[in-house]
Amino acid sequence: MQSALTGCGTALVTPFLDNGSIDIDSYRTLVRLQCEANVDFLVPCGAAGEELSLSSSEYQEIIQSTVEESAGRCPVVASICESGTDKACVKARQAFSRGADALLVVSPPYLRPTQEGIYRHFKAIAESTPLGIVLYDAPGRTATHILPRTILRLAELPSIIGIKDASGNLIDSATLAFHAPDAFSVLSGQDCLTLPLMAVGARGAISVAANVAPRQIAAAIKLSLINNQDRAREIYRKMWPVLTEIASEVNPLPIKCALSLMGLIGEYYRLPLLPLPEAKRGRLRQALITCGLLDSDSECKQFNKGPEQHADY
């Protein structure tokens, strides 16, 4: 995939069993439900998918399972998080071999490279794979912000097709949206900032919240793309309690807790991640109920409704 991405991409979680192994059956169910909810693309093995806790074989299994289960209904954008450029290139080749359509590559964490080092990192990965690359700027996780001038320079490379912008810097985000080439997509990386970013020209989002509310998030983004901001804002207003609770703690803790409350996965993590404290768990459960995603008796509502019951979205 060398064309720009638009719409709603879901940053998929990786479910585990109580023995720490991957719950591949639940994962495939999540992929199927996302496709049925009409999201635009899928993003496995990102921060929400706990990529850094996965072995090489597990990483490849998750990507291949996403490709197989989506069966061409949604493009698969495999995530890569590596500090070393050579290791990132290896993962790029693995993702390609397992059928990924594009890559989401985070700026190198921990090492805090210069802007020139960041540029050369992404350029080397682009030269190692035929897949299109979405940059990922997440300074809260990497300790380095990719500056607009570096992003716009990278956007000149044909295979650099967009950026997941989780910088939280709306001035830099607007600069990118105003000056990036047409073939380059700015995508929101923070659910609570998706609509503000789309107002200045972002073309969609890579959403954590879409794990639990795919129809609503996808619909709001589609509405925003056709400049129906009032309706998009109304959907986000209704979903706001869930969006803010999910953002209240580092993911994947809140989103895996939410999916567990909805009965879709078990709430298991690999160290050093631990479950949410009980108080936050209670607030998240109430938010799911308030937003109509969960009955008060803890029955999942989001994925039990037929298409006709989602006419508002």
Q: State the CATH number of the domain containing residue 121.
A: 3.20.20.70
Query: How many Å apart are CA 34 and CA 301, to the nearest integer?
Result: 14
Residue 300 domain-assigned (yes or no) = no
* For residue 311, pLDDT beyond 50: no
* For residue 67, pLDDT beyond 60: yes
Q: Is 136 a catalytic residue?
A: yes
* pLDDT above 90: percentage of residues in the chain: 92
Q: Which of 27, 59, 119, 136 is catalytic?
A: 136
Closest CA to 43 of 146, 145, 166: 166
293-301 average pLDDT score: 78
* For residue 33, pLDDT beyond 90: yes
176-214: pLDDT as tens digits: 999 999 999 999 999 999 999 999 999 999 999 999 999
* For residue 1, pLDDT beyond 80: no
Residue 201 domain-assigned (yes or no) = yes
Residue 268 domain-assigned (yes or no) = no
Residue 296 domain-assigned (yes or no) = no
Q: Which of 27, 91, 164, 256 is catalytic?
A: 164
Residues 6+ apart with CB under 8 A from 237: none
Residue 37 domain-assigned (yes or no) = yes
The model's confidence at residue 296, banded by pLDDT at 50, 70 and 90, is confident
Per-residue pLDDT at 113: 96
Query: How many Å apart are CA 158 and CA 160, to the nearest integer?
Result: 6
Q: Give how many domains the chain has, as a whole number.
A: 1
Show the domain range for 190.
7-228
Q: Would you say the pTM of this structure is higher than 0.85?
A: yes
Closest CA to 148 of 131, 168, 171, 132: 171
